[in-house]
Amino acid sequence: MRTCVFAVIMFLCCSVSGFADTLKDENEAQQLGDFVLETVVGAGVVSAFEAMKPFVQLTETEMDTLASESKTQRDQFVGRFGKSTGYELIGIEKVGTSLLKLQYIEKTERHAFPWSFYFYKTDQGWMLNDFTWHGDIRRVFSGQASIWPE
């Protein structure tokens, strides 16, 4: 079963790389965001970073380093928060005609990890310009008052 899941994920990774370096519209940007989170949940963070490689302006070495660092951090969280169980798109924000932010939460058994993807519209299409993930769910509510000291 595990081999079958891995084979499907690898097939999907190859399919996503067919988009080239840009995405034609906001819908494809959201499809990429969904795919990255599906990959995190199903195959892990290293595979998710691999899926993003064709769409970012970082070198392969930089992406590999980020993936390795993220895996190290996440391995520490598993005992505390449990395994990944799913994801949810929690926000879409467009600024003007050139910037798009997709915000997700990766659900675990006892915590949510916010993920954000920032896209920039070029003459060739939408490019994944930046992305983040972190463990501070309070930052999702950045526009609201907090009873906890920062």
| Each residue's pLDDT tens digit, 84-128 | 999 999 999 999 999 999 999 999 999 999 999 999 999 999 999
Q: What DSSP assignment string belongs to 77-139?
A: HHHHH--EEEEEEEEEEEETTTEEEEEEEEEESS-EEEEEEEEEE-SS-EEEEEEEE-S-GGG
Q: What are phi and psi of 21, to 5 degrees?
A: -90, -15
Adjacency order of strands within the sheet including 99-108:
84-95, 99-108, 112-121, 126-133
Q: Which residues contact 43 (CB under 8 A, 6 or more apart)?
A: 5, 6, 9
pLDDT given for residue 143 in this prediction: 56
pLDDT of residue 5: 36
- CA 9 to CA 20: how far, in whole Å? 18
Residue 75 corresponds to which amino acid? D
**C-alpha 132, offset from chain centre:** 7
| Domain ranges across the chain | 2-137
Neighbours of 141 (CB within 10 A): 9
pLDDT tens string for the chain (150 positions)?
443 333 333 333 433 333 348 999 999 999 999 999 999 999 999 999 999 999 998 999 999 999 999 999 999 998 999 999 999 999 999 999 999 999 999 999 999 999 999 999 999 999 999 999 999 999 998 754 444 444
Instruction: State which fold the 2-137 domain adopts.
Output: Nuclear Transport Factor 2; Chain: A, (3.10.450)
Q: Which of 80, 73, 81 is nearest to 106 (CA)?
A: 81
